[in-house]
Amino acid sequence: MALLSAAALPAWGAAAAPSACSVKILDRYGGELRVFTSGAREYCEPVTLDRVSPWLVLATLAAEDKRFFDHSGVDARAALRALWQNARAGATVSGASTITQQLARALEPHEKTFFAKLGEMWAAVRLERKKSKREILEEYFNAVSYANSAKGAQSASELYFGAAADSLSPAQAALLAGIPKSPRKYNPLRHPDNAARRQRIVLRRMLDAGYLDEELYHRALAEKTVIRHAQKPFAAPQFSLYALRRAREGDCAVKTAIDPVLQEHFQRLLRAHVARLAASSATNGALVALDNRTGEVLAWAGSADFSDAENGGQIDGVTALRQPGSALKPFVYALAVSKGWKTTDRLDDSPAFFSGGFAPKNYDETFHGKVSLREALACSYNVPAVRVAAALGADRVLALLNDFGFTSLKGSAEKYGLGISLGDGEVTLLELAAAYSSLARGGVRLEPRFTMDGPPPRGLRVLDRQSAYIITHILSDNHARARAFTLNSPFNLPFAFAAKTGTSKDYRDNWAVGYTPDWTVAAWTGNFSGKPMRRVSGITGAGPMLGDAAAFLYSKRPSGGFPVPPGVKFVEICPESGKLPGPYCPAAALEVFNSKYLPSENCDIHIPPQPAAAKPAKQGLRPIVDFPKKGDVFKIDPSAPRAAQALVFRAQNLPGGATLQWMVDSKPAAGGIWQLKAGEHRAQVSLEKEGGVLRSRAVKFTVLE
């Protein structure tokens, strides 16, 4: 009668499904990065019955329901006995709940009242009608609480023994089986003595039920059951949260592409470099690495210290929006090159004024006159970049940036203006890494992938491969950036490596991104609060961290040189004019071009000397070195004979028929011809005159190996 009346209770319909599992974020090899609790703030990992130790099954039957296979959800004999015991004691001393009833209660928790107990019994009967005994046992081992937020046998086994549920000994199984009766009272971590007493009771019941023989029983009693509170992993905390938000509903384990060795090293590296920059008022940073072939995220360090609340340690620097500074310049030049501009084009680096009073200045606060496109990008001069953006149009530049995946740039071209070429507007480190990875793939965009599931997505071509290669060639040219960053910058690595830096206004952020054909690394340093650093630029802040990260990544994943795509051609040009060399050019150098846009004009600087009437030198005037110019940089061509690579000096302000004496580094240069030699040099010319010798001022120039 009681059970029939319980059927009318609306709270006890068909039993609910088990609550959602906790979620494990795994690395590419299956190791745990982090475990997140379920919606009920419990750790639970579903397990099939064949992955539960038979000892745990037997111990649970002995402890909770020895007639489990004989009843239909409610053990009437046990219920009557419990009723009698409770009446005699005047209090609840026995519940007599079957395993099926406990499962029903776990699926729909309720207060301990008479009518709730009736509803629980009715739900157990209905469970028995719908499910087999095996299914009920399996759900039980996934639904009951084993204390300390451990829900289910698998989570409890991992928590207390650091082992899977299918590997438990009889003693371990007896301890776990004793907990569900009262998880608070028999909590092994808080009340180990209670848990041990309950364990011995369960073992005795196993012996009495015939589940253990005398020998196994005494061995289990003698076994020292070591309880260890296994600490949950806490690697890649920001990335793990990112992966959790993108996990499919119902996934209990998310296998990501993170390389645990790279991840651990990057985190240590980030912490060390942020400590290095502490004196310059930099308190945080971020690092991310991508596999160029698949787009997989290999490492993701979102901050130097996740627990550092004072400096925003829980903010994710990989996805935070910040101004990228000069890190966007390669895409401006990529657009120009795709439109037919050449690396040899001379750009004007002189004071310039644009609409709205915009007057860009260079980082070194100087202007460099006419510079090649190669030098302008490699040395990251601001004024030429803005001039190029003005010629192309800010709308076209913004459109290409959007194509490369900078979806954070949601504003209009009018909003950003030409300042978009210098990093006005905010992007994320992940977007920056993905965009440079697209350059490494020859202009094909791939979205970053945090898992390894399924085949890599199809790429989208956003730039022709010839233009992508030309930009890569510039960014990997250590000699081209030497004037701004020296030959021994952090990017001078013993393998092919293209890199670029960026520094935002007032030194609030600095960036460094680099890539090989196989992988891309991006670094950021600054303050999450937005506080400026003390003159920390990309090459001094994020640059060294990028160099160290790239060197370590190369040691684990070696990469070759950048392959030359079809449609790219190397042509000799005059380094001074950028045009085809003539017979009077003192040197020639190889430059890279798109085959559709090859140079056609001859050098117009080094032309045949024109005969002219000799003019007497002005009294007392010194001769002047006309070539080389102060600050000129020359490069030795490794593919040409060294003996054929020389400079032919020129001078001005000379009397007719004067005898000249050329000196380079205080050593004679016979006939004014000097064979190239790597290093910094000083050239000077002198002539004899009645009453003494007139010497020119020394001119400094550089020769790169």
* Between 246 and 472, the higher pLDDT residue: 472
- How many Å apart are CA 644 and CA 667, to the nearest integer? 20
Q: Which of 691, 311, 363, 283 is nearest to 539 (CA)?
A: 363
Distance from C-alpha of 701 to C-alpha of 681, rounded to nearest angstrom = 5
pLDDT digits (tens, 9 = 90+) for 396-451: 999 999 999 999 999 999 999 999 999 999 999 999 999 999 999 999 999 999 99
Residue 213 has what pLDDT?
A: 95
Domain count, the chain: 4
Helix (H) or strand (E) holding 692: strand 692-695
Same domain as 487, residue 431: yes
The radius of gyration of the chain's CA atoms, rounded to the nearest angstrom, is 38
Last residue of a domain, one of 222, 255, 279: 222
Q: Among 525, 571, 559, which residue's Cα sits nearest to residue 429?
A: 525
Please give the structure tokens belonging to residue 674. 């000097």
In a domain, 664, yes or no: yes
Percent share of the chain, pLDDT over 70:
90
Question: pLDDT-derived band of residue 270, with 50, 70 and 90 as boundaries?
Answer: very high
Which CATH number covers residue 176? Answer: 1.10.3810.10
Number of residues that make up the chain: 705
- Tell me how far apart the terminal alpha carbons of the chain are, to the nearest angstrom: 99
| Poorest-pLDDT segment among 115-119, 187-191, 367-371 | 115-119
Is 229 within the bounds of a domain? Answer: no
Angstrom distance (rounded) from CA 176 to CA 157: 8
Measured CA to CA, the distance from residue 6 to residue 141 in angstroms comes to: 26
pLDDT, tens digit, 9 for 90 and up, residues 586-643: 889 999 999 999 999 999 988 877 665 544 444 456 788 888 888 888 888 777 777 7
Question: Judging by DSSP bridges, how do beta strands 369-372 and 646-648 pair with one another?
Answer: unpaired
SS3 626: strand
In a domain, 308, yes or no: yes
Distances (CA, A) of 223 to 136, 169, 199, 296, 421: 31, 9, 11, 47, 71
446 shares its domain with 587: no
Q: Are residues 216 and 350 in the same domain?
A: no
Question: Do 29 and 156 fall into the same domain?
Answer: yes
On whether residue 254 sits in a domain, the answer given is no
- pLDDT, residue 617, reads 45
CATH number where 477 lies: 3.40.710.10
Q: Identify whether residues 289 and 422 lie together within a single domain.
A: yes
At 78, the pLDDT band (50, 70, 90 cuts) reads: low
Please list the alpha-helical segments (H only) found in 67-169.
76-89, 99-107, 114-130, 133-143, 153-161
In the prediction, which pLDDT does 192 show?
Answer: 95
296 DSSP 8-state letter: B
Q: What is the DSSP string of 423-460?
A: T-S-B-HHHHHHHHHHHHTTSEE---BSB--SSPPPPE
Q: Is residue 444 part of a domain?
A: yes
Q: With respect to residue 252, please indicate whether it lies within any of the assigned structural domains.
A: no
Q: How confident is the model at residue 19 (pLDDT cuts 50, 70, 90)?
A: very low
Question: What is the longest distance spanned by two Cα atoms in the chain?
Answer: 136
Strand partners, 702: 633, 680
d(CA 504, CA 201): 69
Give the tokens for residue 32: 């745990």
3-state secondary structure 477-533: CCCCCHHHHCCCCCCCCCCCCEEEEEECHHHCEEEEEEECCCEEEEEEEECCCCCCC
d(CA 193, CA 180): 16
User: To the nearest 5 percent, what fractions of the chain are helix, strand and coil?
Assistant: 35, 20, 45
Q: Which of 26-35, 107-116, 527-536, 597-606 comes out lowest in average pLDDT?
A: 107-116
> Residue 247: is it exposed, middle or buried by C-beta count within 10 angstroms (0-12/13-18/19+)?
middle
Number of H helices, E strands in the chain: 21, 26
Residue 249 has a pLDDT of 83
In 199-322, which ranges are E strands?
253-255, 284-291, 297-301
| Mean pLDDT taken over the chain | 89
Q: Tell me the per-residue pLDDT of 214-260, one tens digit each, with 9 for 90 and over.
A: 999 999 999 999 888 777 889 999 999 999 999 888 888 999 999 99
Could you tell me if 116 and 110 are in contact, meaning their C-beta atoms sit under 8 angstroms apart?
yes
CA 242, CA 313: separation in Å to the nearest integer?
Answer: 15
| Domain match, 83 and 136 both | yes
Q: Are residues 198 and 307 in the same domain?
A: no
Cα–Cα distance, 344 to 227 (Å, whole number): 71
Give domain status of residue 346, yes or no: yes
Q: What is the pLDDT of residue 35?
A: 92
User: For 196, left (φ over 0), alpha (ψ -120 to 50), or beta?
Assistant: alpha
Domain that holds residue 452: 265-556
Are the C-beta atoms of 437 and 472 separated by less than 8 Å? no
pLDDT at position 690 over 70 = no
Q: Give the CA angle between residues 259, 263, 268 to the nearest 5°.
A: 155
Q: Are residues 572 and 551 located together in one domain of the fold?
A: no
Per the DSSP assignment, residues forming a β-bridge with 372 are 346
> pLDDT of 166-180, one tens digit each?
999 999 999 999 999
Same domain, residue pair 633 and 603: no
Distance CA 145, CA 635 (A): 73
4: Cα within 13 Å, side-chain hemisphere: 1
Specify whether 347 is located in the same domain as 456: yes
- Compare 666 and 273 and report the one with higher pLDDT: 273
Same domain, 495 and 637: no
311-369 per-position pLDDT tens digit? 999 999 999 999 999 999 999 999 999 999 999 999 999 999 998 889 999 988 899 99
Q: How many Cβ atoms are within 10 Å of 369's Cβ, its own excluded?
A: 11
The stretch 277-282 carries a mean pLDDT of: 93
Tokens of 405: 């995946």
Whether 371 and 474 share a structural domain = yes
- The CATH number given to whatever domain includes residue 667 is 2.60.40.10
Lowest pLDDT segment from 90-94, 194-198, 232-236: 90-94
Long-range contacts of 261-268 (CB under 8 A, 24+ apart): 261/556, 262/289, 262/298, 262/299, 262/552, 262/553, 262/556, 263/27, 263/33, 263/235, 263/236, 263/299, 263/300, 263/301, 264/235, 265/299, 265/552, 266/299, 266/301, 266/549, 267/235, 267/236, 267/301
CB 149 within 8 A of CB 143: no
How far is Cα 182 from Cα 188, in angstroms, rounded to an integer? 11
Distances (CA, A) of 625 to 391, 653, 680, 683: 36, 9, 17, 8
Residue 389, classed as helix, strand or coil, is helix
Q: Give the domain-ending residue among 161, 195, 222.
A: 222
* 258 found inside a domain: no
- Final residue before a domain boundary, out of 222, 249, 280: 222
On the question of pLDDT at 94 being above 90, the answer is no
* Bigger pLDDT: 38 vs 594: 594
